[in-house]
Chains A and B, each alone.
Chain A
């Protein structure tokens, strides 16, 4: 219902010299569905915030104008609904139903209409619980759904979505996209930010590409834009459909085992799992939201004490600490041997600038100052963070923050690197760079474990995969490594609901199917 007009729009965040977006001239008619693309840091999230009227005047500098139906966006908030990149900070109330009702109360919707609209919105996004479910007890994917419901319930004329499926498993992502498609009235305007173009295309009829330096680089129907600018866009970092990525699998057989997990688990987050991590090999850990992948990553990283089973490090990895498990090692020794990249990059930052963040690990592990500077400069350059060396890590864009968190772990060149979703929210160029970095590390004989939902990433890098399933109450046997291949039969979307009775884990050697659908949760594929 709402149209958008931008004239020479620009925004510079307080504390920054560079403009986040600049020189954007754009007109979006009522009812159009736009996919907003651009390299990481091009200013997509900033632009959405501007349209939602959420760039506070006192936090930066504006250029040009933005209008929603001819109004200043700060006055037009009633017509706009927005779901940000990070769902966790968007939930306001303690109970799920109350959270959806919050926006309706604010808009003065009559009391008797509120609960029917809440229920309808929850149903539309496939929210699996009742209204009283505590919001603190929701997984990332469920929070995303709830945030979307809270926005849809307002029936906005302009819907703004910023990477709404970044952290979701493939089934969950499909469900969200379907919810969006169902929820759109014919006259709702949609502006969607999503790096993975192929998945977003069914939702949109127009593509707008932001140029990082400023301005709009391409604009038009998807086919036309990709036909005219495909190669140039791909080189600039856009995930153009049909542009495949070269695989980077190990060329030499894996070396010795670095870490061995025997019935390793942490009830109720992770059921017992068997696993071997080898030098010179990249292992991908897959599985639906809530399966315990991040828990496994933290356990392997020596950051959590195992609840069940044992984690044993080889003599080569453990050095002097061969007799103690990793979670008892002193921190500097741990950082030299096992590096960890957390799922939420912001959880990982401990200093005030990008440069300090990168230098911290090498310093703590006792490297010389000149050596530290070299390492830091090299990483800054390779991940294109040099411009941001003095910035506060918490002010980075989603993709920049992810890059930095991977770089901090790479900085100590650990013998074993464990990353949780290293590639989410990345443009194509950085994605390739990250895959290269990880592949180099592996080819130099280090071990790499990557938790991921990213099928392209698995296809490009993984030498072996392990698929976890949601833990279920009646699980008795341990998850075991077995010869079971990746499951090929795609389950129906939505089969990974909270009541999923799947169990066990499957580990598969060899290259997973590159162009098949991402592995759905395997059921009962545990026993060898």
Chain B
């Protein structure tokens, strides 16, 4: 199941911030962390992220539910590093044929796993607390994004829950007409592929009709648009972005001062 509703308490102090500010803060925070491979900076970042979580009105349980696939990713990183690490310095911990685990490998693995989490969490939090309509409004009003594109994308986004219903409808229609796969796995795969194709066709057809409906209501008629829902970018929003940059910078600086910093490039 895909849940589209924002999962945050809507009156949490940071969840209420301008969507553009939230996305910018997440991006800034993320970009700073991308620059390093060491475990210290991401560890500090994760601590900060978990600490501000209540300000976004997101409960830890909700975050865990959205983030659990990352754990599988962490296992993947670990396995791959054991087999393919470039840096195998440090004391050997395990040595069994192709599996050579050194302290260096473990430190690198820790760094990568922590960085993956640290980079992913802000995005998860921001998108979990942001309503798509408000994001589009703010993109148009505060980030000067082209209105035609932002609104077109928003109108298309409304189809996500419909796609799920449509999938069920297509499957039922086929069954009613005598088409099913039975127990044959190959036939199942073919039916799956043809259902997916039918879904894409249906989505595009809806899209063309939606475009006609939008034109019928004066979209893109050349008249300057007004906005019904005002989005404001206040000083508090700017503060959020700046704070995010400062906090990420602080994490990085700490790592440099401790001598653990390992730049991504160079």
Contacts and interface: CB of A to CB of B under 8 A. Distances in A.
In-complex A–B contact (CB below 8 Å): yes
A326 B215 CA distance: 45
A60 to B, nearest CB: 13
Interface stretch (A201-209, A297-305, A472-480): A297-305
Interface residues of B, number: 43
A114 B225 CA distance: 12
Contacts of B180: 330-332
Contacts of A412: 178
B226 A114 contact: yes
B92 interface: no
B265 interface: no
Interface of B: 132-133, 154-155, 157-158, 161-162, 169-170, 172-180, 182, 198, 205-206, 209-210, 212-221, 223-230
Contact of B218 (A95, A111, A115, A154): A154
| 5 smallest beta-carbon distances between A and B, as pairs | A364-B178, A335-B178, A331-B180, A103-B217, A106-B218
A116 to B, nearest CB: 11
A353 to B, nearest CB: 14
Contacts of A111: 226-228, 230
Q: Which of B179, B205, B228 has the most CB of A within 10 A?
A: B228
A107 interface: yes
A78 B221 contact: yes
A342 interface: yes
A89 B209 contact: yes
Interface string A108-124: 11110011001000000
A135 interface: yes
A361 B178 contact: yes
B228 A98 contact: yes
Interface stretch (A2-10, A33-41, A232-240, A344-352): A344-352
A13 to B, nearest CB: 13
Q: Which of B133, B175, B176, B218 has the most CB of A within 10 A?
A: B176
Contacts of B213: 84, 89-92
Q: What is the interface residue range for chain A against chain B?
A: 35 or more
Contacts of A150: 217
A364 B223 contact: no
Given A334-B178, A349-B173, A350-B198, A106 B223 contact: yes
Given A136-B162, A302-B175, 5 more contacts: A94-B133, A135-B158, A335-B176, A339-B176, A347-B169
A95 B215 contact: no
A94 B172 contact: no
Contacts of B212: 54
Contacts of B230: 111
A77 interface: yes
B234 to A, nearest CB: 18
Contact of A334 (B158, B176, B223): B176
A525 B238 CA distance: 62
B191 to A, nearest CB: 10
Contacts of A136: 158, 161-162
B70 to A, nearest CB: 28
15 contacts: A54-B212, A92-B214, A105-B227, A107-B218, A109-B226, A110-B226, A111-B226, A301-B176, A330-B182, A331-B176, A331-B177, A340-B176, A342-B176, A364-B177, A394-B205
Contact of B179 (A108, A298, A347, A350): A350
A81 B216 CA distance: 7
A350 to B, nearest CB: 6
